[in-house]
């Protein structure tokens, strides 16, 4: 036997041993069944590559992150009796009571959001905290960095937290150094370049939070970059959604940021003083992610879908739901609830989009109506019976339910729910319905791609 043959046998047996050990480790975990199958297949067929991927992306995140406080702010009044059932359901399933706000606004588009945000940042007096998953170093990103650095020079405490994966470009070279020298404080959440945190990079901070002086807040799905303004022609027109509010809910958003900031290695920061006018509109500020105990976001959506009586209107760019949510939507549709889901016709993540298309058949067979927008839809939102709306950073996919740190805002405020319904109707006008006949005409190759992506979607 030659040396090459001996080496080949050693590599083969080592790969087999590695596969067995890792498969046992995967099966002993508490992952969702589809995620377990995806990792097992990857390790089985590509043992060395699969082992590396699992060690970096697949291991459970250890404990130690400061939990998000579920207690109501001390200056916030207790919720009144007589709030809609959906509000009480949200409180029970998230273990977070509603808080008050005022000036609650839905901002359907990056241009409007950026304009309002620049005005509010320019008027900041004491503190600005900013957290984004994606923060580009393009013209839009530089404009906001310049504004943040200028406020820091004016004496405003200014903190920027960005995700090490989603905003990787900010970590390249010494791009942020000129802004740091001007007083901008920066932390990276799970940096890719740190070998001691490589096992954490699959757990991404997908939140979008801005809090100004503890009294003005922004959250939603719109990141910072040129593409959110529709300047990437390959994505076509870009549709997105954000929320601006004032009062106690803004103070609560700042609290979520402060715990993320500390978890990323930043010094502990005292919360801003309570806002003088906490507001009288009730909202739920809902953080979710590893370390939050039971996966409350999934449970909340399941319960709200099950309680629907007339209509469910969903906006999601990445439709890769677990079987339970598919069943909840199908059952609702069969009981006479009109279920409509708006997804993008062009996606910035084609493999995830392919995984999502593999679910279209069973959703349509169950009576769910699916529509594709002519460009990229990045908004994430749910409206149930026109009376309970949730908008934020979470997609209807495995990553948002089990891996990412997300932030969502839920409310039964009539004006906000009406604004969501109006925006949904506007975007639906230019969308194309997805029919069973078109799905049946897909080629075998396309079906195989979609099925493969569906199986591996927990790994993507």
The active-site residue, picked from 208, 239, 284, 402, is 208
Show the tokens assigned to 425: 């109707």
The active-site residue, picked from 213, 240, 260, 397, is 213
User: Is 69 annotated as catalytic?
Assistant: no
Asked if 289 and 400 touch (Cβ cutoff 8 Å), the reply is no
User: Is 378 annotated as catalytic?
Assistant: yes
**CA 106 – CA 126 distance, rounded (Å):** 26
User: Is 380 annotated as catalytic?
Assistant: yes
Show the tokens assigned to 434: 């997805």
Asked if 362 and 330 touch (Cβ cutoff 8 Å), the reply is yes
Asked if 100 and 87 touch (Cβ cutoff 8 Å), the reply is no
The active-site residue, picked from 240, 385, 397, 402, is 385
The active-site residue, picked from 151, 378, 397, 402, is 378
**CA 440 – CA 129 distance, rounded (Å):** 49
Asked if 325 and 394 touch (Cβ cutoff 8 Å), the reply is no
User: Is 213 annotated as catalytic?
Assistant: yes
Q: Is 398 left (phi over 0), alpha (psi -120 to 50) or beta?
A: alpha
Asked if 133 and 166 touch (Cβ cutoff 8 Å), the reply is yes
The active-site residue, picked from 151, 239, 380, 402, is 380
Closest CA to 221 of 264, 271, 275, 166: 166
Q: Name residues whose C-beta falls within 8 Å of residue 179's C-beta, 6 or more positions apart in sequence.
A: 145, 146, 148, 149, 186
User: Is 206 annotated as catalytic?
Assistant: yes
**CA 189 – CA 161 distance, rounded (Å):** 7
The active-site residue, picked from 190, 206, 239, 292, is 206
Show the tokens assigned to 228: 């959110």
User: Is 208 annotated as catalytic?
Assistant: yes
> 373 by DSSP, 3-state: which?
strand
Active site residues: 206, 208, 213, 378, 380, 385
């Amino acid at each position: 036997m030659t040396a090459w043959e001996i080496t080949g046998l050693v590599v083969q047996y080592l790969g087999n041993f590695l596969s067995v050990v890792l498969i046992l480790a995967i099966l002993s975990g508490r992952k969702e069944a589809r995620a377990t199958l995806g990792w097992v297949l990857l390790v089985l067929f590509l043992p060395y590559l699969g082992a590396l991927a699992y060690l970096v992306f697949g291991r459970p995140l250890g404990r130690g992150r400061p939990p998000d406080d579920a207690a109501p702010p001390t200056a916030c009044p207790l919720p009144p009796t007589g709030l809609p059932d959906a509000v009480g359901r949200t409180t029970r399933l998230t273990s977070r009571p509603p808080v008050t706000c005022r000036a609650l606004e839905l901002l359907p588009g990056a241009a409007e959001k950026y304009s309002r945000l620049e005005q509010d940042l320019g008027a900041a007096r004491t503190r600005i905290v900013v957290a984004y998953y994606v923060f580009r170093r393009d013209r839009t990103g530089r404009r906001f960095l310049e504004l943040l650095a200028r406020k820091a020079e004016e004496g405003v405490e200014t903190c920027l937290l960005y995700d090490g994966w989603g905003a990787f470009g900010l970590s390249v070279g010494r791009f942020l150094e000129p802004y740091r020298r001007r007083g901008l404080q920066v932390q990276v959440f799970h940096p890719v370049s740190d070998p001691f945190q490589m096992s954490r990079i699959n757990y991404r901070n997908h939140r979008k939070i801005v809090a100004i002086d503890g009294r003005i807040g922004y959250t939603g799905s719109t990141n910072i970059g040129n593409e959110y303004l529709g300047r990437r022609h390959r994505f076509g027109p870009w549709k997105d959604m954000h929320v601006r509010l004032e009062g106690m809910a803004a103070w609560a958003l700042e609290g979520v940021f402060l715990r993320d900031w500390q978890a990323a290695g930043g010094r502990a920061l005292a919360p801003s003083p309570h806002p003088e006018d906490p507001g009288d509109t009730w909202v739920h500020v809902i953080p979710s992610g590893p370390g939050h105990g039971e996966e409350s976001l999934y449970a909340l959506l399941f319960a709200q879908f099950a309680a629907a009586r007339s209509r469910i209107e969903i906006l999601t760019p990445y439709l890769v739901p677990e079987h339970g949510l598919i069943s909840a939507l199908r059952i609702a549709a069969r009981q006479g609830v009109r279920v409509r889901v708006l997804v993008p016709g062009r996606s910035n993540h084609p493999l995830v989009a392919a995984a999502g298309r593999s679910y279209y058949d069973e959703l349509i067979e169950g009576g769910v109506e699916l529509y594709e927008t002519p460009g990229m839809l990045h908004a994430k939102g749910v409206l149930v019976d026109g009376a309970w709306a949730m908008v934020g950073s979470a997609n209807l996919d495995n990553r948002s339910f089990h891996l990412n740190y997300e932030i969502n805002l839920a409310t039964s405020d009539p004006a906000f729910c009406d604004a969501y319904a109006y925006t949904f109707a506007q975007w639906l006008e230019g969308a194309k319905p997805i029919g069973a006949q078109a799905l049946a005409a897909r080629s075998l190759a396309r079906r195989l791609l979609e099925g493969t992506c569906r199986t591996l979607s927990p790994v993507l």
